[in-house]
Amino acid sequence: MAGSTTSSVRPRIGVLALQGDFREHIASLTKLGADVAPLRRPEEIAALDGVVIPGGESSVMDKLSRAFGVAEPLAAAIRNGLPTYGTCAGMIMLSSRITDGISGQQTLDVLDTTVRRNAFGSQNDSFEVDVPMPELGDDPVHAVFIRAPVVEQHGPGVQVLGALADGQVVAVQQDNVLASAFHPEVAGEDRFHRRFLAMVRSA
């Protein structure tokens, strides 16, 4: 991975900033001591130690990432080991397969999951719930779901970090890729960002 030489002190993180709530992720990661910058151009990827793909509208994010030439080099970097965290639409972008995607919608295809878009309904059906996630500590994670996806299927290499009471999977990790269906950056929950930065520092 081609990252900054000072990554052990202040890892350089890019937050995909084509659409969505990238500002909240930038604020969360900056508070945790990372050197964070918006990611909009393919030539910016090589200098990064990690990438976050925020929530937003996954179909728009897909189109813009291809229009700006970011999608293919970003997918290649992730396959090559670049630590990556995706929330909500970011989870959809990372997944290999989409249920209920719009016509022509593509993904980065770096996470062996099948996700369903808008699994809980519209914006008006947004909700918050505490989800037990032993991997992140004894206290449950307060999860904010906004037009959120769920993981319907996943490959054997995917670790389930969190599921709702009915068994629907909402947080996973596969090697260098971390993803959640909800928005920790909205809830003020920093354990996912801390886990992501630990991945970056150990890469």
**Known catalytic residue: 135?**
no
Read off the tokens for 116. Answer: 């369903």
Does the pLDDT value for residue 2 go beyond 90?
no
Q: Exactly one of 88, 154, 189, 193 is catalytic; which is it? A: 88
Instruction: Give me the count of residues in the chain.
Output: 203
Residue 41, classified by CB atoms within 10 Å of its CB into exposed (0-12), middle (13-18) or buried (19+), is exposed
Which pLDDT does position 122 carry in this prediction?
65
Q: What is the mean pLDDT of residues 167-172?
A: 96
pLDDT recorded at residue 123 = 64
Known catalytic residue: 142? no
Question: How many CB atoms within 10 Å of residue 64?
Answer: 18
Per-residue pLDDT, 4: 45
Report the percent of the chain where pLDDT is more than 70.
94
Provide mean pLDDT across the span 42-58.
95
User: Taking CA 12 as the corner, what is the angle to CA 107 and CA 55, rounded to the nearest 5 degrees?
Assistant: 35
Which member of 24, 25, 154, 185 is catalytic? 185
Instruction: Assign 117 a pLDDT band (cuts: 50, 70, 90).
Output: confident
The pLDDT value recorded for residue 5 is: 42
Whether residue 188 has pLDDT greater than 90: no
Flag whether pLDDT at 64 surpasses 80. yes
pLDDT band for 125, please (50, 70, 90 cuts): low
Mean pLDDT of 126-140: 92
Catalytic residue among 24, 25, 154, 183: 183
CA dist., res. 21 & res. 15, Å (int) = 10
Output the pLDDT for position 130.
94
Question: Is 43 assigned a catalytic role?
Answer: no
Q: Does the structure show a pLDDT above 50 at 187?
A: yes
152 Cβ contact partners less than 8 Å away, ≥ 6 residues apart: 99, 114, 115, 116
In this prediction, residues 64-83 reach a mean pLDDT of: 97
Give the Cβ contact number of residue 167 at 10 Å: 8
DSSP state of 1: -
pLDDT digits (tens, 9 = 90+) for 14-29: 999 998 889 999 999 9
User: Mean pLDDT, the chain, as a whole number?
Assistant: 91
Q: Is the pLDDT of residue 126 over 90?
A: no
